[in-house]
Structure 1
Amino acid sequence: MDERAAIVPTLPRLNPTSSYWQDPPHGISTHRTTGELPESVSTIIIGSGITGASIAYNVLDKSDASSVLMLEARTTCSGATGRNGGHTKAASYRAFLDNVRDQGEAEAARIARFEYRNIKAVHDFAREHKIECDSWEGDTVDIIYEVNQWNRARQAVSEMRRILGEEDVAAQYKFYDASETAERFLTDGAVGSVSYEAGSIHAYKFVIGVLGLALTKGLNLQTETPVLEICRSSGGQSRWTVKTLRGSIEAQRVIMATNGYTAYLYPPVKGIIVPLRGTVAAQRPGSQMPKEGLKTTYSFIYGNGYEYMISRPPGSRYAGDLIIGGCSTKAPEEGLYEWGTTDDTAMDPEIGQYVRDSAANYFGSQWGEDDPDGRIRKQWTGIMGYSSQGFPLVGKAPGEDNLWIAASFQGSGMVLCFLTAKALVTMMDGEDDEEMIDWFPRAFRMSEGRLKDKFRGRLHEKAPMDLELKAGREAQPVPEECPIRSQGIMPSST
């Protein structure tokens, strides 16, 4: 992992794999507001995903907003946001025990509430501004196949209810045993399941909608304009020169919304923000699956990883399609070689095959025959960004004036980015008061100390093997004949 984390990211690659969400591309995918780059602006935002778009909207929403330039290396929203799984799902309980241990009870509660609030804010914004993005709100379920993961979930939710309060909206979870799980969620062989509030969204369309609002407020969007370097301007200590393939621009402040690619432009985060390539597939459901589509979104959790899945909601294009991703730990060395890569033009063949087979394997006899047109409608990869502590890095670059960062969203951009953008703009405007300190997690803030932490890979996935439930509650054992395990999905050691 040390070797993989030390790899310097490249610029976003040309000709990436074709994302389901970007087919067809939107009219502003190659938009350039002006034919030439301006020589000087007040603010440059690098990156046009959900973070960059939300930052632009919030900056331009201020009555005194002046010239704002957005630079995108490829087409609009062609990075992680336009290549994700469409899931607005926090799964806050999964990291809660670790957050209590490392950050304390108050901060763990703040993180959980922030994640829930962010999800609601995304859907509320889409509804308020009439952004057509297949916004769907409902329940999700985590199908759990391993005893220690089940024990961990029960203990985490118990702690959430104790710390947040029984009635807190961020602490509402329902548990189902193995038989209830099989009946309700059409999956056999699980230890049990946990259900809670979540949703799904067409993230590409959502960002296009946010950018459309920003463009009407005066945003200058320049696509296919990769940034090569950020350096201090000769014009003064607090000004910056941003060098691109199309020329250089002077700016009062620069914001990097570049997620897994950030270390290319800002070397201090090399080995602190590490890229990870993810694989996603859009699948036509099998003949025995519900004709009206699945009623919930899913995750499938086992000993050392998970897959996530949504069913495209009624009324959307290809309603009922299953979008499933994850699976990187199923490759040799638990997918170690997927870390450090920014190549989304290619796909690991073993992970790709596992993703193609995963939904049919999980639903087993409930799947039926593959669609006559084929199981896979489209398959693609995307580059995420992970940090050494498992949290985003948000705020002013240490020791620099007017250089800001909002990056490293741990594969959970739809759960973290939207309100993070609001928080960053609040910081830049000097309005970082007690109210914001109360709702924005301290653990997400950029600091000198966070540039010294050793990278440890993706956190909060493996449960300790000796984990026991509190208050003497016993976990349900794994069935001896587990169909998921027999199909090669579960590691033989669990």
Structure 2
Amino acid sequence: MDERARIPVSLPRDNPTQSYWQDPPDAIADLRTTDVLPESADVVIIGSGITGAAVAWHLLQNEPDDAAPGAGVERRTTKRIVMLEARQACSGATGRNGGHTKAASYRSFSEHSTSLGTPAAVKIAQLELANIQAVHAFAQAHNIDCDLNPCDTIDIIYDKNHWDRAQKAVAEMREAMPEGDPAAQYTFHTPAEVRERFHCHDNHYEGNLERVYGGISYFAGSLSGYKLGIGVLKLCLAKGLNLQTSTPAVALRRTQPAEPNSPWTVETPRGTITAKQVALATNGYTAHLVPRLQGVIVPFRGQITAQRPGSAMPHSGCLRTTYSFIYEKGYEYMVPRPAGSRFAGDIIMGGGLLRLPDDGLLEYGTTDDTSLNETVSAYLRETTPRYFGPDWGEDDPARRVRKEWTGIMGQSADDRPLVGEMPGEEGLWLSCSFQGHGMVLCWMCAKALVDMMEGRDGDELEGWIPDAFMITEERLSRRFLGRSL
């Protein structure tokens, strides 16, 4: 893993695989608000996914609303915010993920409790649920058409150790949290219930039987991360955001290196832009701009398929819950497309990393989302009939797989985001490294980052953002050993 972590991190690559969600691209995919790159700004945000969009939104909340149409009054803008995107708008992990707003906090609670203390573990679990609720509420309040589907999820457990640990972790959460805390609300299901209610069966993989030990259901949901990100960007554009797509940031430097508090200069192929503050929303690509983060935030590649539902699938594939399938060394996640959405009933299936040789070692350290891993492709294609057995039926005449694509995520040594100001680099802010868990972390981490950028980092912020997410020298010194389950 040391060798993979040392591979120099690149910029996002040209001509990536096209995700299911980006077909076709939105009208603002190639937008440049101004033909010429501004020479300066108050804040430069690098990255246009959900983190960058959320940072922009929270920065703009103190801005005046647009003047009424026809009023003859120009928009009043006090903050000059420029967003740089290397490729199309929202073309990174946000526009390429499976759309799962699912915390699964019980899966990490015991480890967090042991390593950070129970109060910190509680705070992380509560934050994850709060993030889901905030994203859902925002999309509803602003009428963002993102196929939002708040619903329960079910984890199908195919390993006894995982089953035993899950029951223990949920008991620990209920003991540690206030009675009735929604972050600790889980329901356990017997193997018979898993078959009857969720249509899943024992799994046969490479000649081995992985039998169902039970299921765990809880609140989650799904949406199109691409449509959500684009929707937030459009709200920000209406408030004065300057978006510059196909404008990669290739380097960062102090404008006056001898002065620690001098502005930052961001170099791009189209010229330079200076700003007092720079916010990196670059996730797995961050070390390209901050060499100190090489091996601290390690990119890794994930792969997803969109599959047409089998002929016997209940509700024509529009299942009532989302799914995860958890086995000894890994898991897959599955998002059924809800009724009323484009391609309703399609099955979005991602994962398979730990079914690869060496637990997917070669998928770490890469930023190549221009191609597929054919071994993962073959594996993911076969997951649906294996998990659903007789409830799958015959494949659609148009073929099982509608689309396949890859995306790049960011992983830290301790499996937690890095949020805050880079030590010793005043004005350089990060909210990055979400371990493939960004849809339940990005929004609230961005909110916390803006609070810190604007000096609101007192007791109120400390009451809900975990200290374990903050960037520290100690965290920057940790060695990356690989991804934990």
How large is the Cα RMSD of the aligned pairs?
1.0
Q: Which amino acid aligns with 1:194?
A: I
Q: Which amino acid aligns with 1:89?
A: K
- For the 8 Å contact 1:277–1:338, the answer to whether it is kept is yes
Report the Cα offset of residue 447 of structure 1: 1.0
1:232 to 254, 261, 268: 254
2:115 to 81, 102, 115: 102
- For the 8 Å contact 1:29–1:76, the answer to whether it is kept is yes
1:149 is aligned to 2:171: no
Where do 1:281-292 residues align within 5 Å? 281-292=305-316
Structure 2 CA distance, aligned partners of 1:90 and 1:238? Answer: 40
Report the Cα offset of residue 8 of structure 1: 1.5
Taking structure 1 as the reference length, the TM-score comes to: 0.92
1:303 is aligned to 2:303: no
Structure 1 CA distance, aligned partners of 2:278 and 2:385? Answer: 46
Corresponding residue SS for 2:468: helix
1:402 to 417, 423, 427: 427
Structure 2 CA distance, aligned partners of 1:65 and 1:173? Answer: 46
Which residue of structure 2 lines up, in the alignment, with residue 5 of structure 1? 5
CA shift digits 1:49-97 (9 cap, x unpaired) = 0000000011111238410000000000000000000000000000000
Report the Cα offset of residue 7 of structure 1: 1.2
Which residue of structure 2 lines up, in the alignment, with residue 27 of structure 1? 27
Which residue of structure 2 lines up, in the alignment, with residue 40 of structure 1? 40
Corresponding residue SS for 1:323: strand
Which residue of structure 2 lines up, in the alignment, with residue 85 of structure 1? 98
Structure 2 CA distance, aligned partners of 1:192 and 1:272? Answer: 37
Greater CA deviation, 148-157 or 359-368? Answer: 359-368
Structure 2 CA distance, aligned partners of 1:176 and 1:114? Answer: 26
Which residue of structure 2 lines up, in the alignment, with residue 257 of structure 1? 281
Corresponding residue SS for 1:440: coil
Which residue of structure 1 lines up, in the alignment, with residue 147 of structure 2? 134
- For the 8 Å contact 2:45–2:83, the answer to whether it is kept is yes
CA shift digits 1:450-475 (9 cap, x unpaired) = 1111112112x2xxxxxxxxxxxxxx
- For the 8 Å contact 2:256–2:262, the answer to whether it is kept is no
Seq. identity, %: 55
Structure 2 CA distance, aligned partners of 1:443 and 1:354? Answer: 36
CA shift digits 1:298-343 (9 cap, x unpaired) = 0000011000011111111011111010101111111110000000
CA shift digits 1:344-402 (9 cap, x unpaired) = 00111111111111112111111111001110110000000010010000000010110
1:124 to 137, 156, 163: 137
2:182 to 165, 169, 174: 169
- For the 8 Å contact 1:96–1:160, the answer to whether it is kept is yes
1:223 to 245, 264, 271: 245
Report the Cα offset of residue 238 of structure 1: 2.6
CA shift digits 1:129-180 (9 cap, x unpaired) = 1111111101000000000000010000000000013410000000011111
CA shift digits 1:251-287 (9 cap, x unpaired) = 1111110000000000111111011100000100100
CA shift digits 1:388-420 (9 cap, x unpaired) = 010000000010110101100010111000111
Structure 1 CA distance, aligned partners of 2:480 and 2:178? Answer: 33
Q: Which amino acid aligns with 2:191?
A: A
Which residue of structure 2 lines up, in the alignment, with residue 475 of structure 1? none
Taking structure 2 as the reference length, the TM-score comes to: 0.94
1:444 is aligned to 2:469: yes
Structure 1 CA distance, aligned partners of 2:229 and 2:314? Answer: 30
Give unpaired runs (5+ residues) of structure 1: 462-494
- For the 8 Å contact 2:314–2:391, the answer to whether it is kept is no
2:298 to 274, 294, 298: 274
Corresponding residue SS for 2:150: strand
Runs of 4+ deviating beyond 6 Å: none
1:212 is aligned to 2:234: yes
- For the 8 Å contact 1:165–1:171, the answer to whether it is kept is no
Which residue of structure 2 lines up, in the alignment, with residue 473 of structure 1? none
